[in-house]
Amino acid sequence: MNLKELKALIEAYMFLSDDPLIPSEIANRLGISIEDIEKAILMLEEELNSDHRGIQIEKAAGGYFLVTKPELYEKLLRLGPVKKKRLSRASLETLAIIAYRQPISLPEINEIRGKDSSFPLSTLIEKGLVRAAGRKKVPGRPFLYETTEEFLKLFGLNSLEELPRDDET
């Protein structure tokens, strides 16, 4: 497969996939070098970065995926409703607590928020942003929760180390 065909294949894969394209995984599946995958991604990125394209490549969660160019958002709204993942204030508070304190149990989340967080937590689990990561070794053995790769993708992060810290805000 030549580089031009590989670029087209990668573009189609990123268009269809909900998950980021991980170069090493694609290289293994296709039996080609990671360098060729990276070259094809770079070629595609250069092509998409031109002024006449509406999408771009973004890197997050250790891979690449296609996103709409931010400067087109207002014009897209005029075309009709754009479905976005929306989270309630309670869900965002719960998610922030989990992201910064993970792994963390529901009783600990409730203590920090000062409110019952069962419903926001179930919403986050349903959306795939949080998952159970085991049980705490205390009486009652409550579940411990952590963020997922979907969380990283949604917020455009490669890792949790990229979360802003108190001294950065």
Domain limits of the chain?
A: 3-79, 89-168
Could you tell me what percent of the chain has a pLDDT over 70?
95
**Residue 65 has what pLDDT?**
87
User: How far, in Å, CA of 40 to CA of 34, rounded?
Assistant: 10
Whether the full predicted model's pTM is greater than 0.85, yes or no, is no
CATH of 3-79, one of 3.40.710.10, 1.10.10.10, 1.20.58.2030, 3.30.420.40: 1.10.10.10
- Express each pLDDT in 78-135 by its tens digit: 888 766 667 888 899 999 999 999 999 999 999 999 999 998 999 899 889 999 999 9
Distance between CA atoms of 47 and 89, rounded to whole angstroms? Answer: 38
CATH class for the region spanning 89-168: mainly alpha
Whether 45 has a pLDDT exceeding 80, the answer reads yes
- DSSP state letter for 166: G
Answer whether residue 36 shows pLDDT above 90.
yes
